[in-house]
């Protein structure tokens, strides 16, 4: 699976990106537009073509200006992003960590990096869905558990070495609306999509800072710029990941004084992975699903360039990154329009083991509380019954006592009556 040439038509077919790439390598390349413009002015054949095509020279001149402006813009972008310093990488000695590298985009990126001879460490909750080459090392890691991240990073350093490249690729989405989203959904989505970036940086960045050498790639999403219905928690977590990248880039240069450390953010659109099964495929030209290999290639090419960058995919959607500056009516219309793309999407309804354990503990605790409540109710009922039985027994005892007293009174009266009869008999006999 070698890296494809920038000239090659994308795996997605003929799209708007194909046209953008063509313009970038032809009309907007001053190395081609300037000679073409000069030829239209100073060569016989060029003047003849220009004479037969009025306005051609003007369009060529505009292409020259646009190409130069684009080159200047890219020069300034690269200079500022890389702190105006260069660095070199020996890929046989570098160690790249890829989170979520067992399948999807991460798997493709791992295989491409491995083909370049780079030693790769995969951090994932599930084992790789491929036969890993000798230079790929898998470590089981529950990214939803900060303690597991800390322990796994220590294990990686001990067994493989100090990583010099970190690719925060793992992603998670539930696909619920705001009212359906639980606290557990929010906690897990933010932990996987953004909070673990902080935790991994705390473990791996100090060595990069000490050596003033390394790279951190943040795989965010176009959702960081456009929030869609049923994707609010995911979009918010990806916006947090984007903010993490931007802040990290600034702190590396100003706080940590390590200007050679590179930071890259990749904001990709809908990609054909398990995370977004059922998502609308769009019109196939302006809007279309990305192949996982397309995104993986963009990540790996950024790594191999060894420079900081901000990448949007598809390239035709780069304007979306400025959505916050668009008129409000356009922003709102775009967000509402995204609902049509979400109709058949259900998100990824799985949980990390750490989350399942926590939920189980919560349920056990809840069951224990209910059992205690039931036990208390049973105890109260038992006391009530016991009290009732005591009252009944007491009533029976009192009733029996009264009956015995009545019998005794009756017997006493009978004795007195009998005694009187005997006395009367005695008196008669005496007479």
Which positions are annotated as active-site residues? 234, 238
Residue 254 φ/ψ, nearest 5 degrees = -105, -40
Who's near 205: CB < 8 A, 6+ residues apart?
166, 214, 216, 256, 261
What count of Cα atoms within 13 Å lies in the side-chain half-sphere of residue 145? 19
């Amino acid at each position: 699976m070698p890296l494809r040439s920038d000239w090659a038509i994308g795996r997605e077919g003929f799209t708007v990106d194909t046209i953008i790439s063509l313009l970038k390598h032809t009309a907007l390349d001053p190395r081609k537009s300037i000679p073409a413009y000069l030829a239209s002015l100073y060569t016989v054949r060029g003047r003849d073509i220009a004479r037969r095509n009025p306005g051609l020279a003007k369009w060529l001149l505009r292409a020259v200006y646009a190409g130069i402006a684009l080159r200047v813009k890219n020069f300034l972008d690269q200079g500022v992003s890389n702190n105006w310093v260069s660095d070199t990488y020996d890929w046989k000695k570098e160690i790249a960590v890829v989170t979520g590298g067992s399948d999807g985009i991460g798997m493709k990126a791992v295989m491409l990096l491995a083909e370049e001879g780079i030693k790769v460490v995969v951090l994932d909750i599930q084992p790789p869905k491929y036969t890993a080459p000798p230079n790929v090392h898998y470590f089981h890691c529950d990214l939803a558990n900060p303690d597991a991240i800390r322990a796994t990073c220590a294990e990686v350093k001990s067994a493989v070495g100090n990583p010099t490249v970190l690719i925060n690729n793992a992603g998670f989405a539930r696909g619920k609306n705001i009212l359906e989203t639980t606290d557990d959904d929010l906690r897990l989505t933010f932990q996987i999509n953004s909070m673990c970036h902080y935790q991994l940086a705390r473990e791996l960045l100090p060595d990069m800072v000490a050596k003033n050498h390394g790279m951190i790639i943040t795989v965010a999403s176009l959702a960081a710029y456009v929030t869609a219905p049923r994707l609010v928690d995911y979009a918010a977590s990806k916006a947090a990941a984007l903010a993490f990248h931007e802040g990290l880039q600034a702190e590396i240069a100003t706080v940590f004084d390590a200007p050679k450390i590179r930071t890259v953010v990749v904001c990709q659109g809908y990609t054909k992975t398990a995370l977004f099964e059922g998502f609308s495929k769009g019109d196939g030209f302006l809007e279309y699903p990305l192949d996982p290999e397309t995104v993986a290639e963009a990540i790996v090419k950024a790594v191999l360039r060894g420079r900081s960058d901000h990448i949007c995919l598809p390239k035709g959607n780069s304007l979306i990154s400025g959505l916050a500056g668009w008129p409000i009516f356009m922003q709102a219309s775009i967000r509402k329009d995204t609902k049509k793309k979400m109709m058949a999407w259900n998100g990824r309804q799985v949980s990390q083991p750490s989350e399942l354990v926590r939920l189980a503990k919560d349920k056990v605790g809840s069951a224990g509380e209910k059992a205690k409540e039931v036990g208390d109710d049973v105890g109260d009922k038992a006391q009530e019954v016991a009290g009732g039985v005591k009252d009944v027994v007491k009533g029976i005892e009192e009733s029996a006592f009264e009956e015995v007293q009545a019998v005794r009174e009756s017997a006493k009266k009978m004795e007195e009556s009998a005694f009187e009869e005997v006395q009367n008999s005695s008196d008669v006999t005496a007479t």
